[in-house]
Amino acid sequence: MPSSLRRACGFMVICAISALLATSADAKRAPIGAEAALETEPVAPRYLSGNAEIEQGSGVVRTIFNAAVKMPSGLAPEAQALQYLANERAQFQLGDVEQELVHHMTRTSAAGNVVRFRQTYQGVPVHGGNIAVTLDRDDTVTFVVNDAQPNVSVASVTPAIPSADAKLGAMQTLGMTGVTTHETNDLVIYRKAGADHLAHRVVLHSANGPNGEWEVMIDAQTGAVLAKKNLACYVPVDGSGFVWDGDPLSTAGVSYGGQYVDNNDATNGSLDAERQTRTLKDIDLTAGTHSLKGPYAELQDFESPFRGLYPNASSTYTNNRFQDRFEAVNVYYHVDTMMRYINETLGCTVGPYQYGTGVRFDPHGLNGADNSYYLTSSGRLSFGEGGVDDSEDADVIIHELGHGLHDWITGGNLSQVNGLSEGTGDFFATSYDRALGHWTSANAQYYWVFNWDGHNPFWGGRTTNYGASYPGGLTGSIHTDGQIWATCLMRIYDKIGRELIDKAVIEGLASTGSSTNQNAAANAVFQAALNMG
C-alpha cells in the first residue's frame, strides 16, 4: 500500500480493495492454441516502494499513486502535466520532455484531467511509449503511469525497406490473401529483448481470415519479422424488436437443457416465449428504409459469413432466434442501451476514438467460429456463431464492448497485464446483467459470466465468485486471472451499487496505461473515487 495515503477514508477503502483482491482485446475466451497470440508483450517485474511502482533492474518508476504534487494554476492541463514530467524526469528516466513527448489526448471528466503523451525518438513514435498524468480538479497531480522506454537509440530513422514491401511481408507471414478490410502501416521504434529496431508496424484485418486483427513488426532495415500478435479483444426514429433480456435462461429462471438448448440455432415455443419487445432507439430511416444504425450503435457486415445489413421497410423487427436478423437486433439493443447508460445516466463521455459514429458491430463474423472479439485498431466488435451464437448472449456483447470502453478511455492503451481487460469485460458484463434482476445471490447464476453462451456443453464460462487470491493466485492466463479483478469489483458492486462502481471503474481505468496491472488499477479506481468526491 502506498505510504502516502494518509486520509483515514482512503486508508480504509484501499484496505477494503486489498482484502477483496486477497479473497477473491481480447476475446471472450481463448480459442484453442491461441492464448499466446492474445498475451501482451512481456512486462518486466515491478516492486512497490512507498507510493511508487518501480521496474526491477532498470529502476524506472512506472506508476505513482497519490502523487499529491500541486501544479501552478492558470496553466492548461497539458502544460501542467509536461512541467510535472520535466521536474520529475529523473525518476521516470526521461530525456528532454519538450523534444521527446508529443501530446496525444486529454480526457476531461468529473474526476479531473488525464493528459496523455506519446514518446518519440528523432520524430519517430516509440511503440508503447506512452505516459498518462492525472490531475484532479484542484490542479494537483494524483496518478501517473509511465510506459516510456529509457535510453532509446537506433542507428538510423531512415528505412531501407519500403512500407509496401513490409505489408506484403506481413501478409505472407500471416498467410493472408485477398483484400484487407482495415490496415495501418506506421514507422515506429520497437524494442525487442532490450534492443531497439526501426520497424514498420503493420496492422491488418481481412474479412476472410485469419480471424483477428494482426499486428506484425517488420524490421525496416532488414525486412525480418520481429513479432506478430493478434490485437483482437476476444461486442433517427424509434423502432421496436424482439430481443432477449440478457438471455433466455435468465428470464426463464432455468439451467441449460431440455427445450433451452442451442440445437443448431433452432427455435421452439419455450425459447420464443422468452423474447421481449424492446424499443430500438434512434434507428436510421432513409428513403423509407429502416436500418440498425444510430448514434450509439451501428450494424456493419465486415467479416465472413456475410449476412447483410437487414434493411427493413417497417420499424418493427419481429424475428425468432433461428432468423439471422434476431442477433443483429439483439446486439444493437444491448450496445445502444449500455452506451446510453454510460454517456447519459453516468455522465461519462465515452465513445470510439477511431471513428465518430455509433459502436460498429458485426453480429455474424469470425468465419462462423465459436468466439468473439473487439478489434483495437478499427474499434469494431465481431461475434462468432459456433455453439450458442455469441450475439444472442448479452454477457458476450457487453464483455466485448467492455474491451472497447477500456481501449477508448485510455486512448488506445488497453492493458492485458494480469488479464486486466478480460476482467474489466467480465465486470461490465456482470454489472449489466445483475442490474436486470433475474437472479439473486442464492443462485449460482448470480455470479456467472456468459449464462447462455457458456456453462453448457460448449464451454464452462467464467465466474465473478472466483476463489484465487492476488497476486499469489495468478496463473499467467489472462482469461483465468481476469476473474480476480472482476470478482473484486462485483463485491464492491454489492456494497455500493451499480452506478457508483461503474463510474469509478471508468474514470479510474482512464488514468491507466498499457502495462497497468491489477494492483495499480485498484489504486487508480480508488483515486478516481477520491477525485470525484
pLDDT in tens, 234-253: 537 999 999 999 999 999 99
Confidence of residue 29 (pLDDT cuts 50, 70, 90): very low
Query: Is 154 part of a structural domain of the chain?
Result: no
pLDDT confidence of residue 115: 98
Q: Measured between alpha carbons, how far is 7 from 12 in angstroms, rounded to an integer?
A: 9
Confidence of residue 13 (pLDDT cuts 50, 70, 90): very low
pLDDT confidence of residue 41: 61
Contacts for 506 with CB less than 8 Å, ≥ 6 apart: 342, 346, 348, 350, 405, 409
Asked if 505 contacts 409 with a C-beta cutoff of 8 angstroms, the reply is no
Same domain for 131 and 183, yes or no, is no
SS3 316: strand
Residue 376 has pLDDT above 60, yes or no: yes
Asked if 215 contacts 232 with a C-beta cutoff of 8 angstroms, the reply is no
CATH number of the CATH domain containing 208: 3.10.450.40
pLDDT confidence of residue 506: 98
pLDDT confidence of residue 169: 93
- Which of 205, 230, 255 is the last residue in one of the domains? 230
Same domain for 387 and 420, yes or no, is yes
Q: Measured between alpha carbons, how far is 258 from 402 in angstroms, rounded to an integer?
A: 32
pLDDT confidence of residue 502: 98
Radius of gyration of the chain (CA): 23
Q: Running DSSP on this structure, what letter comes out for residue 342?
A: I
- Which of 91, 114, 146 is the last residue in one of the domains? 146
With left for phi above 0 and alpha for psi between -120 and 50, is residue 17 left, alpha or beta? Answer: alpha
Cα distances (angstroms) measured from residue 391 to each of 2, 212, 262, 435, 492: 42, 17, 13, 19, 28
pLDDT confidence of residue 439: 97
Q: Alpha helix (H) ranges present in 220-300?
A: 248-252, 269-273
Same domain for 133 and 209, yes or no, is no
Same domain for 376 and 457, yes or no, is yes
Same domain for 108 and 220, yes or no, is no
Q: Running DSSP on this structure, what letter comes out for residue 370?
A: S
**What one-letter code names the amino acid at 114?**
V
Q: Name residue 48's beta-bridge partners.
A: 53
Q: Measured between alpha carbons, how far is 416 from 37 in angstroms, rounded to an integer?
A: 12
pLDDT confidence of residue 9: 32
CB neighbour class for 34 (10 Å; exposed up to 12, middle 13-18, buried from 19): middle
Structural domains counted in the chain: 3
Percent of the chain with pLDDT over 90: 85
Confidence of residue 34 (pLDDT cuts 50, 70, 90): very low
Query: Is 51 part of a structural domain of the chain?
Result: no
Summarize pLDDT for 264-321 with one digit per residue, the tens: 999 999 999 999 999 999 999 987 899 999 999 999 999 999 999 999 999 999 999 9
Q: 205: domain range?
A: 163-230
Query: Is 330 part of a structural domain of the chain?
Result: yes
Same domain for 436 and 518, yes or no, is yes
pLDDT confidence of residue 36: 30
CATH number of the CATH domain containing 253: 3.10.170.10
